[in-house]
Amino acid sequence: MSRIPRQIRADELSLIGPAGQASISSGNQDFLVRLFAQSSQGSVRTKLQVQVARMGQPLSSGTLFNQSMYTDVGVLGTDLNFTITGLDTSQAYRWRARLMYDPSQTSTDQLYSPWYSMSWGSLSGNADFRTGPVTPATATPTSIPTTTPIPTATPVPRIADFKGQIIDKKYFFVYPNPTRGVNVKFKFFLDQAARVSIKVYTPGNRFVWSREGHYPQGWTEVIWNTSGMANGVYLYIGEAESGHIKERIIKKIGLVK
């Protein structure tokens, strides 16, 4: 089952991206880990264990952080949030996380889930994020060239070159999931203006709701009012299209009123 591991700024206002300025946590010594918790054993209590290591240090020997309290994830599962504090400033870090099951409830000897990591960091050996503070970049003045470079032909882009550039699958999600209440909130980030459609179906492929429109670059939130809808699991398909660049995301929604 998909755990959807995510790293979030300590102020909980936005996700931490994989590179550049977006990879810096808003806090100088902390960041937040979010993992979707669900168990094959049904409604059990779990908490997060996160291991964090500085670059150059083996991840297996990094510092372990354990959440203080267990949370009942229910049958449909829920997002667990854990703020990691006490890190060194201006450092690059990698991390991984797993679920710890309440030993008084588990019916097997499995007390931990497998480790889950961000695909661009822990699995590849690169950094997942950096702690602050952010140091403004300074440019060194350079002399104006005396000759004008000869322009070169711009290669014709291929569709494969644009894969993932409209909307990152890690930045298209429902929160909270499962949703308890009337409003289901879809949130997505576009790196360029694009037409986006969101369609919701039952597991039996019956269409129940949709929203389509042209949205600007940046974060957008779309709300689905579920008045009259039954509790249960639904599927949503998110599609973004700009020119010949297309993205499609298919995920589950848990609805509990």
pLDDT digits (tens, 9 = 90+) for 68-117: 999 988 888 888 989 999 888 888 888 899 999 888 877 667 788 888 88
DSSP per position, 197-238 = EEEEE-TT--EEEEEEEEE-SEEEEEEEE-TTPPSEEEEEEE
Sheet holding 31-37, edge to edge: 6-8, 31-37, 78-84
Average pLDDT (3-14) is 76
Whether residue 63 has pLDDT greater than 90: yes
pLDDT at 159: 36
Whether residue 19 has pLDDT greater than 60: no
pLDDT digits over 211-246, tens only? Answer: 998 888 888 889 999 888 888 889 888 888 876 677
pLDDT at 154: 47
pLDDT at 104: 83
The whole-chain average pLDDT of the chain stands at 78
Which is more confidently placed, 158 or 40? 40
Instruction: With beta carbons less than 8 A apart as the criterion, state whether 255 and 232 touch.
Output: yes
pLDDT at 145: 52
Whether residue 191 has pLDDT greater than 90: no
Instruction: With beta carbons less than 8 A apart as the criterion, state whether 87 and 131 touch.
Output: yes
Q: Is 59 helix (H, G, I), strand (E, B) or coil?
A: helix
Which is more confidently placed, 123 or 35? 35
